[in-house]
Amino acid sequence: MFRLCAKIEIKGDRSWSLDFVTAVEITRDTEKLTAEAKITLPKKMKWDGSAEIPVRRGDSVRISLGYDDNLQLAFVGWVRDVGFKTPVVITCEDDMFKLKQMPAVKKAYRSVTLETLLKDQGITHRLNIMGEQSLGAYRVTADTVASLLGKLSEQGVRSFFRYEDGEPVLYCGVLFERDSTPAQVFKTGLNIISDQSLQQQKAENMRLRVKAVSLMPNNKKIKVEVGDSDGEHRTLHTYNKTETELKAWAQQEIKRLKRDGLTGSFTTFGYKLVDPLDAIGLIIDGTKMGVYQVKKVVIKYGDGGFRQEITLGLRVA
């Protein structure tokens, strides 16, 4: 029987290290800007003899979880909120918390790449920009850097942090094509607790149509549609792209969404934590079902054990 263990490090005016909490839930999602962690504290807890909680918004947080004193780093970020009800819940965000407070540099470009746009904002985090980069003419009107990233997401450009080699790395792009060698393999009857939410799909049976709209410097619009005429509609907006560039942008989104393989999520143990964009292999009832990029992972730790709910993204092998 494995014994759960945890270490929660909080640093503000003072430093605190907690080796017991009631629950932790961490959500990391490639479709959302911000990774979030919720720490539920024991009902009766003393802080150096005081019942008053000394944790404040903006304090740094590191969460490590594991079994039998073998801890894994699960989350690094900052305190966003401290609840006032019992049991107290501390809500934390990753480094996007800092970008939400960082004023955006207002600037207009006749033509700009995604990398140049972000570097001009003074982002000091390491950047990993993948896929289509040309934005064409672009005007920064957002108030904060995080708001700018939010506006880019409306064009299909996703942004989120991954923690790599001891530092947060900001990923930005439409398609994130990485190594297809699986970091882990999950197998029915071995390390899969539940696969009831998984479904099989074939690209040939999916009906999808993407409409891409480019706003030109003269305020005229170029529109391109790709995919199935009777398919589910998606719309992307961008700036100053030629018809050829616009078509490539839309086809990239079709490639991301239209694929053979499995879709949905499954539940496994927390023995080895998974990150979004990790490649994982799946063997269901003895059949190899391919290698998939992780789209989303929810980590749950507490009385119910130590679990991960993993949502599949693009099939990569």
Q: What are the tens digits of pLDDT across the range 114-154?
A: 999 999 999 999 999 987 677 878 899 999 999 999 999 98
Report pLDDT for 132: 62
| pLDDT bucket at 219, cuts 50 / 70 / 90 | low
Average pLDDT rounded to a whole number, residues 231-239: 78
Q: Indicate yes or no: pTM above 0.85.
A: yes
Q: Collect all residues with Cβ–Cβ distance below 8 Å to 62 and sequence separation of at least 6.
A: 7, 8, 9, 73, 75, 76
| 202, two tokens | 């074939």
Q: Distance between CA atoms of 106 and 111, rounded to whole angstroms? A: 15
What's the pLDDT at 231?
84
Mean of the pLDDT values across residues 185-193? 97
Taking 90 as the threshold, does the pLDDT of residue 89 lie above it? yes
Strands 126-130 and 167-173: parallel
Strand partners, 112: 136
> Dmax over Cα atoms in the chain, in whole Å?
68
For the segment 206-220, the average pLDDT, to the nearest whole number, is 81
Instruction: Give the bridge partners for 28, in sequence order.
Output: 297
Which class would CATH give 108-173? alpha beta
Average of pLDDT values for 69-89? 96
Residue 182 to residue 280: CA distance in whole angstroms: 4
Give residue 10's pLDDT: 98
- Beta carbons of 240 and 109 less than 8 angstroms apart: no
Weakest mean pLDDT among 102-111, 178-187, 238-247: 238-247
Would you call 196 exposed, middle or buried from its count of C-beta atoms within 10 A (0-12, 13-18, 19+)?
exposed
More confident residue, 112 or 188: 188
Residue 210 CA to residue 255 CA, distance in Å, equals: 11
Mean pLDDT, range 157-186, rounded to an integer: 91
Whether residue 216 has pLDDT greater than 80: no
Residue given tokens 């985090």 in the structure block: 125
Fold designation for 4-94: Phage tail proteins - horseshoe like beta roll fold (2.30.300)
Any residues with CB less than 8 A from the CB of 10 and at least 6 apart, and which? 16, 17, 18, 55, 59, 60, 61, 79
